[in-house]
Structure 1
Amino acid sequence: MRFSNDTPLPAAMLPNAEQDDRVTAIFLAAITYRIAGGRLALAAAQRPLLLDPALPYPHDGMLQKSVASVCATGFVYPKEGRAREATAVLRVGDRDAAIVAYGQRVWQRSVGGGLAPSAPLAFERVEMSWRNAYGGVVQEPARVVSLGDDDGGEAFVPEHESGYPHNFEGKGFITDAARAQDQPLPQLEHPEQLIRRWNDRPEPVCFAPYPLWGGLRAAHVWHDQQFDQSGASKLASRAAPRTTFDAIAPGTRIALGGMRPGGEALVFEAPAPPVAVTVAVGGASERLVPALDAVDIDAEAAEVRLLWRASVSYGLVQLEHRRARLEATEAFPRG
C-alpha cells in the first residue's frame, strides 16, 4: 500500500502480515501542543514518532493495542520553596491518581530496636521516575534452606539476585531486616499504601512510561486467579495500569497538578482527531478517523504529545491498487 502524508505532522504506516494472505496496516500520527491557560496551541517543534523497538517501554508502533495511555514526565515540586513532601495528582475525566513525593529517607533503628523510616530531607524537586518508586533488586547471599519434608532435607542456594517484579528499577525492596539499616526508601509512594514496615510490599507508582517488562501489566489479564485474554490488547499500554484507559473521548478534561514550580497546574481538554486517513483498496474507499492512543505530558516544557492511531485490514490481491492518504480534519489547529 502506498502511503502519503498531506500534513506537517510526523506520521507513518506500519503494515503487518496476517494469516490467509491478509495485511493489517496501522496508521500513526503524532501532534505536539503547548499547554497554556487551560488550552492547547500547536507547538513550534513537533516531537517525532517513537518507533525504536529498543525503548524500555512500549513504543508507538506496538501492533496489538486498543487502549489509551496517559504519562507525565518531569519532577514533583512543593507548592513553594523546599519541603519534605509534596503531592502530584493526575486527573483524566472523573478518574484521578495521586503520588506522594518524599525527600530522601533511609531505614534506621527505632528506640524499641525495630526499623523505622528516617525523617525525609527537604527537597526542591523529586524526579518522576520509576527509579524513585518502590522496588529494586537485592543481592541474596548463599545459604542452606530447609526443603520442608519429613526427612529434614536441606538444599544449598547459591548467591543470587532477588528483585521486586513490579519494578526492578526502583528502591526500597528489602528481603532481610538485618540488612535493612541505612538502605534507602522510595521517594514516590501510593498515598493509600504508605510504607511503615521494612517488609511492606506496596504498589509502585509513577506517571512516567512504565517498563515493558513490569509485572503490574499482569493486572490486565489476570483476574480471580485466572487468565483473561480479553485484556491482552492493554499489555502494550505505555502507562502503568493506573493511568491506562479503555478510551479517552474528545472533550475529556486532563489535569496535572504538583509537577510545575509554584503550584501551577497543567490543564487541557482532549481535542477531536486532527487528522483522518482515506484508504482505497481496489475499487473500495473508506475514511478512517483515528483514536487517541497515547497522551505524553512533558511537565517541564509544559507540552503534550498526542498519538493518534487507526488501522485497516485487507486481503492481498495481485495487481490491485492500494493507497492511503493522511490529511487534516477541521479540528487541525491553525496558525
Structure 2
Amino acid sequence: MKLENKTPYPADLFRGVIRERRLFGSVAIRVAYDILGQELRIADEQTWPISPGPWESAFGPMPGDELMIRGGVDVLLHGYARTSHQRPVTRLDVEVAVGPGWRHRIAVIGDRSWERGLTGLRPSAPIPFSILPLTLERAYGGSGEWDSLEVPFVDNPRGRGFYIDEDSARGQPLPNIENPEALIDRWDDRPDPVGVQACDLVFGPRVRRSVGVDLERHVITELRSTLFNAAFPDMIAPAAHAGDEVRITGVRHDGPVLFRLPPPPLRLVLRFGEQEVVREPAIDQIGVDTEGMRAFLSYRFPFRYQMIPLQKRHIQLLVAEPSSAWASVPLATSYGEAQ
C-alpha cells in the first residue's frame, strides 16, 4: 500500500501488524496556518513536517508521528506569558480553551526564592513581571547534589525548584510555572511539572496516566492511547472539530488569541480492491505560536484492514474544496473485508 500525496501539505502513511493478516494503517498530515485576526489562513510555506522519529521544531523537541492513534487532541503552545497592556503583576493565569467543553490553565508567578521564616523556609514575595517564557526551564524540576553526585529530577531535569535538602534550597529560586490547584508551599514539595509544550515519552505523569501495571505480577494490565500523545497530560483535549473556537488568554499584551478551527483542506480516497471510500481525517494536534501568530493543525486517519493476497490497495490525499462536506467516520475503521 502506498500514499499518493497530491496536496502541498506534509503527509505520511504508517503501517503495522495487529496479528496475522490483520494490519493497521494511519495517515498523518500537518497543515501550517497564519493567524489573521480571528481566522486561520493556510500559510504560503508549509514548514511543519511529518516525521517518523523525534525531531527539533520551532516549539522545541517533538516526538515522532509514527503511531496509529492518539488518545485525544494535543494542544501545544509556544511563546510567553504576557500581561494585559504590559502592566506588571505578580501572578498571571494562562488559559487555553478548545470548543465548549475543554479548558486548562496554568499559574505563572513572578520570580521568588526560598527565604528563612519563623518555622522554616518560605517563598519570598514574587517580583512583578509583564513577560515570562512558557518553557520547561521555568517549570518545576532541576537537579541537586548529594554525596558529590548530581541528582536530577527525572521528569524535568531542565527545570527549577527541586532541592535535596533545606540548606541547598535556601536563597534558591522556585518555579515560575505551576499547577494553580496545587501551588508549592514547602521546599520539599514534589509536584508534577506542568507545561504547554511537548513532553517526553517517558515523562512520569504521562506514563502513570496511560499505563496500568500489576505490581505483584510485574505485568502491564492496560495501555491507553494517551501514551502516544505529545502534550502534557492536562493539555490533551478529548476532541476538536471544525467550527470549534480556540481561545488562549494571558499570552498577548493586546488581548487573547482567538480563532475558529477551519474545515480540513483535504480528503482521503482509500481503495481496497473494488471498494472505494472518501474520508475526512480528524484533528489530533493543535499547535499555536503566540509570538509569530502562526499555527499548525495535525490531522490523522487510522484504519484497520485485512491482508488479502493480490488485492490492490491505494490511498490518495487530495485537496478539498472549502465548501466540501465529506463524511466523517469513527476512528480505526476497518476496510478490505466483510463489514
Query: With structure 1 as the length reference, what TM-score do the two structures score?
Result: 0.84
Report the alpha carbon displacement of residue 246 of structure 1 after superposing the two structures with TM: 2.7
Report the alpha carbon displacement of residue 233 of structure 1 after superposing the two structures with TM: 0.7
Give the equivalent residue in structure 1 for 2:196: 207
Q: Partners in 2 of 1:325 and 1:89 — Cα distance?
A: 38
What SS does the corresponding residue of 1:296 show, helix, strand or coil?
A: strand
Confirm whether residue 171 of structure 1 aligns to residue 160 of structure 2: yes
What SS does the corresponding residue of 1:235 show, helix, strand or coil?
A: helix
Give the equivalent residue in structure 2 for 1:35: 35
Change (3 A) 1:224 1:106: farther
Residues 134-193 of structure 1 deviation map (CA, whole Å, 9 limit, x = unaligned)? 12232222xxxxxxxxxxxxxxxxx65544444333211123112211222101112222
8 Å CA contact 1:69, 1:239 repeated in 2: yes
8 Å CA contact 2:141, 2:156 repeated in 1: yes
Report the alpha carbon displacement of residue 245 of structure 1 after superposing the two structures with TM: 2.4
Task: Out of 281-290 and 300-309, give the one that drifted further.
Answer: 281-290
8 Å CA contact 1:134, 1:173 repeated in 2: yes
Q: How does 1:99-114 map onto structure 2 within 5 Å?
A: 99-110=106-117, 112=118, 114=120
Report the alpha carbon displacement of residue 235 of structure 1 after superposing the two structures with TM: 0.8
Gaps (5+ residues) in structure 2? 56-60, 325-339
Larger radius of gyration: 1
Confirm whether residue 216 of structure 1 aligns to residue 221 of structure 2: no
Q: Partners in 2 of 1:15 and 1:115 — Cα distance?
A: 54
Amino acid at match of 1:97: H
Change (3 A) 1:245 1:113: closer
Q: How does 1:138-149 map onto structure 2 within 5 Å?
A: 138-141=144-147
Pick one of 225, 229, 238 that aligns with 1:237: 229
Confirm whether residue 14 of structure 1 aligns to residue 14 of structure 2: yes
Report the alpha carbon displacement of residue 294 of structure 1 after superposing the two structures with TM: 0.5
Report the alpha carbon displacement of residue 278 of structure 1 after superposing the two structures with TM: 0.8
Give the equivalent residue in structure 1 for 2:58: none
Confirm whether residue 135 of structure 1 aligns to residue 125 of structure 2: no
Confirm whether residue 76 of structure 1 aligns to residue 81 of structure 2: yes
8 Å CA contact 2:244, 2:261 repeated in 1: yes
The RMSD of aligned alpha carbons is 2.7
Give the equivalent residue in structure 2 for 1:324: 315
Q: Partners in 2 of 1:255 and 1:98 — Cα distance?
A: 12
Residues 21-71 of structure 1 deviation map (CA, whole Å, 9 limit, x = unaligned)? 343221111112222332211222223224152345432223342421111
Give the equivalent residue in structure 2 for 1:292: 283
Give the equivalent residue in structure 2 for 1:145: none
Give the equivalent residue in structure 1 for 2:103: 96
Give the equivalent residue in structure 1 for 2:330: none
8 Å CA contact 1:78, 1:85 repeated in 2: no
Report the alpha carbon displacement of residue 81 of structure 1 after superposing the two structures with TM: 2.8
Give the equivalent residue in structure 1 for 2:4: 4
Report the alpha carbon displacement of residue 332 of structure 1 after superposing the two structures with TM: 7.3
Q: Partners in 2 of 1:15 and 1:109 — Cα distance?
A: 58
Q: Partners in 1 of 2:292 and 2:106 — Cα distance?
A: 20
Q: Partners in 1 of 2:48 and 2:168 — Cα distance?
A: 45
How many percent of aligned residue pairs carry the same amino acid?
29
